[in-house]
Structures are given as structure tokens and as C-alpha cells.
């Protein structure tokens, strides 16, 4: 009889399944994500995968849920860093870019493909947490009197610009001498002008 896995070992194996699924989805497309293929990539039997997830949709939902929580944690830590609102906002930007670079497959799966299993309670919680982080650093700037704007709208404008810059960097399509951070800095400067930056 095989040894029962500890809770930590079980969680580690679930995470490995999620990592493999995200990579397959991004590299080869949705059709590549099958329980049999994931098991083969892990070097385990197909039935082993079913002990952890019921089907591939459950796996993809788990990838997104886990990714959104890790993403939110990174941005929240950055926002809690010392300094004024501008410095903390830059820290959030840097944390965003670092997450996308270090977790590219998960990042792309979080944002690049249509949502599934929206009714999953854990997924909804992760999604709501993630979107709260979009406006949080803008709310800090507003509270300090640096800008005057609707935090949700400006937060989404900044996020859209940053996501676009990150995806262009991932695809290798940015002009020579630019990366996501440098391009986004110029874009945000223009957005802040519209948001009536106070001198």
C-alpha cells in the first residue's frame, strides 16, 4: 500500500499539476490540457491526477484561483512598503511586472483566456481580491491629494496600460531600449496629467 501523503506533500503535488496545466495551455493550447497528458508530464498514472482534481476545468480554475491570490499578495506587499503614494505605486507596478515575468504561464492563463467556473466560490473570492488591488494604490494617491480621480476607473486604466506593456514585453514586441516598466512610466505620467496631478 502506498504511503499516504502529508497535507504539505498533497498541496505541493496539486501545485505541480497546476504549473504543468498552465504551461500546456499557453504553449500548446486548450486541447493539450488533458488528464492523461498532465499525468505523463508529471511521470505519474492518469488516475493519480484524478485523486487531486475531478477534471481539467477544475485544474484550470485552480490555476487561476491560486495565481490571483499570489498576484494579489505580491501587490499588497508592495503597497505596504514605506514611502509616499508615488513610491508605493511604483512598487506595486514593479511587483506586478515581476509576477508576470516569474509566472508567465499562470499570468497569461489568468488574463488571456475566457473565464470558466465563475460560480466557484474560491475563484470568486480570488477574483474580487485581485480587483480590489487594482484601485488600492490609486486610493492612496487620492488620499494624499496627489491626484483627483475615480479610483476604480483610473485603477483600471493604469492596469490596462500595464497589462498591455507586460504582454508586449513577453511577446518581445517592445521598441529597442524599452521594457514594460519604462513604457508604463510614460503612459502613467500622461494618465496622471488627465487626473489633475496637483503640483
Query: If you write DSSP's letter for every residue of 81-99 in order, what string do you get?
Result: SSS-HHHHHHHHHHHHHHH
Q: Are the beta carbons of 115 and 65 closer than 8 angstroms? A: no
Q: Are the beta carbons of 99 and 73 closer than 8 angstroms? A: no
Q: Angle between the 56-79 and 35-42 helix axes, to the nearest 10 degrees?
A: 60
CA dist list (Å): 143 to 12, 66, 161: 41, 31, 23
pLDDT, tens only, 143-158: 999 898 898 899 999 9
- Report the alpha-carbon distance of residue 78 to residue 88 in Å, rounded: 7
- Nearest alpha-carbon partner for 60 in 95, 102, 29, 97: 29
Question: Considering the chain, what is the average pLDDT of its residues?
Answer: 91
pLDDT, tens only, 12-64: 999 999 999 999 999 999 899 999 999 999 999 999 999 999 999 999 999 99
Q: Are the beta carbons of 45 and 100 closer than 8 angstroms? A: no
CATH topology (fold) of 64-194? Tetracycline Repressor; domain 2 (1.10.357)
pLDDT, tens only, 56-102: 999 999 999 999 999 999 999 999 999 999 999 999 999 999 999 99
Whole-number percent of the chain with pLDDT over 70:
94
Q: Where are the domains of the chain?
A: 1-53, 64-194
The architecture that CATH gives domain 1-53 is: Orthogonal Bundle (1.10)
pTM for the predicted model, two decimal places: 0.90
pLDDT band at 196 (very low <50, low <70, confident <90, very high): low
Amino acid at each position: 500500500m502506498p504511503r499516504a501523503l502529508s497535507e504539505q506533500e498533497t498541496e505541493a503535488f496539486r501545485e505541480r499539476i497546476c504549473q504543468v496545466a498552465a504551461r500546456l495551455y499557453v504553449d500548446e493550447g486548450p486541447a493539450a490540457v488533458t488528464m492523461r497528458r498532465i499525468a505523463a508530464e508529471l511521470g505519474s498514472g492518469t488516475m493519480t491526477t484524478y485523486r487531486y482534481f475531478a477534471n481539467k476545468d477544475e485544474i484550470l480554475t485552480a490555476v487561476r484561483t491560486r495565481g490571483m491570490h499570489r498576484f494579489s499578495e505580491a501587490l499588497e506587499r508592495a503597497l505596504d512598503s514605506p514611502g509616499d503614494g508615488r513610491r508605493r505605486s511604483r512598487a506595486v507596478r514593479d511587483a506586478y511586472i515581476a509576477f508576470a515575468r516569474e509566472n508567465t504561464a499562470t499570468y497569461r492563463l489568468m488574463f488571456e483566456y475566457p473565464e470558466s467556473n465563475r460560480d466557484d466560490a474560491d475563484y470568486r473570492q480570488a477574483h474580487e481580491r485581485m480587483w480590489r488591488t487594482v484601485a488600492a494604490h490609486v486610493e492612496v494617491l487620492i488620499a494624499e491629494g496627489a491626484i483627483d480621480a475615480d479610483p476604480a476607473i483610473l485603477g483600471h486604466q493604469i492596469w490596462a496600460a500595464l497589462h498591455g506593456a507586460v504582454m508586449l514585453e513577453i511577446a518581445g514586441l517592445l521598441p529597442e531600449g524599452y521594457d514594460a516598466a519604462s513604457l508604463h512610466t510614460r503612459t502613467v505620467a500622461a494618465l496622471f496629467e488627465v487626473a489633475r496631478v496637483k503640483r
